[in-house]
Amino acid sequence: MADATVGAAAVPSGLVAGEIPRPPRTIVSVATLPFVALALIYLLVSVIGGWRWALTFAHVAFGAAWTIIDLFLGLVIGPILGRMPIRARLELITRLMPKMSVIMPTVVVVTLVAGFQLGLQVGVLYSIHPYHAWILASFAVVGVMALIALGINEPANLAVLFELRKPEPNLELVGQLMRRFIYTAGILGIMQLSILIIMARVAS
């Protein structure tokens, strides 16, 4: 009883500690790991086989997933999340973020490795190729995106999940970290638009 009272006092927004949605004990979604293994095996087989169609599929499909997830999360889910009641927001975060922490690194790695291999096969990675400057521009954009994603976005995501595992999470801190996550997701979404332009230019 005493614990419940302390929990209620520590948690703002009318939520008592017992009512706060919690992320899974494992933090990452274990159910998504077979998808990761399949994706990486497919990637390795495609690289070793040297099949251009398989590499193109991996680069286009996973690249599209990366772009769409960033755009959707940053420009659609983000603003909606900001207007949701705190409990609904936490329900969404605790279900969505564990999956995102597995899906995004996988999608990014498959896209980049397949793209690198494809670039070598097609020749756009070589400095003599007429579209080489566009590829370098994409490197610069992806580099900045990697810094935002790994330096701000993903740390905020993980910190929120671990904070919500505490018996009495600091929801003010969770709110600040979520804002950080949503803003950076929006920036990543906007930067993805420039990747779309570059890739459309290279492919046409």
Partner 1 sequence: MSQDARPTASASAQEQRLPPVAFVGTLALGLAIAGVTYITASLPKEPPLAPAIGLLAAAAAAVIANAVALARARNFAWRLFFIVFRWTILAYGLIAGLLMFVFIYNDMPARMLAFQIATLAIGAVDIPMILAFSVAKYQS
Sign of CA dihedral 25, 26, 27, 31: negative
| Closer CB to partner 1, 75 or 148, in the complex | 148
Window 72-111: contact mask with partner 1 (x via CB under 8 A) = ---------------------------------x---x--
Question: Hey, what long-range contacts does 141-149 have (CB within 8 A, 24 or more apart)?
Answer: 141/191, 141/194, 141/195, 141/198, 142/112, 142/195, 144/191, 145/188, 145/191, 145/192, 148/184, 148/187, 148/188, 148/191, 149/104, 149/108, 149/184, 149/188
Minimum distance, C-beta of residue 172 to partner 1, in the bound complex (Å) = 6
**Binding flag, residue 51, partner 1 (CB under 8 A):** no
What tokens were used for 136? 């370098």
From residue 68, give the alpha-carbon distance in Å to each of 40, 63, 83, 137, 182.
Answer: 20, 9, 22, 20, 15
Q: Which of 156, 187, 195, 199 binds partner 1 (CB under 8 A)?
A: 156
Q: Which three-class secondary structure string do you get for 32-60? A: HHHHHHHHHHHHHHHHHHCCHHHHHHHHH
Minimum distance, C-beta of residue 35 to partner 1, in the bound complex (Å) = 14
**Binding flag, residue 117, partner 1 (CB under 8 A):** yes
Q: Which of 21, 24, 155, 186 binds partner 1 (CB under 8 A)?
A: 155
**Binding flag, residue 24, partner 1 (CB under 8 A):** no
Minimum distance, C-beta of residue 42 to partner 1, in the bound complex (Å) = 12
Binding footprint of partner 1 on the chain (CB under 8 A): 6, 9-10, 28, 40, 43-44, 47-48, 105, 109, 113, 116-117, 120, 125-127, 136, 139-140, 143, 146-147, 150-152, 154-156, 158-159, 162-163, 166-168, 170, 172-173, 176-177, 180
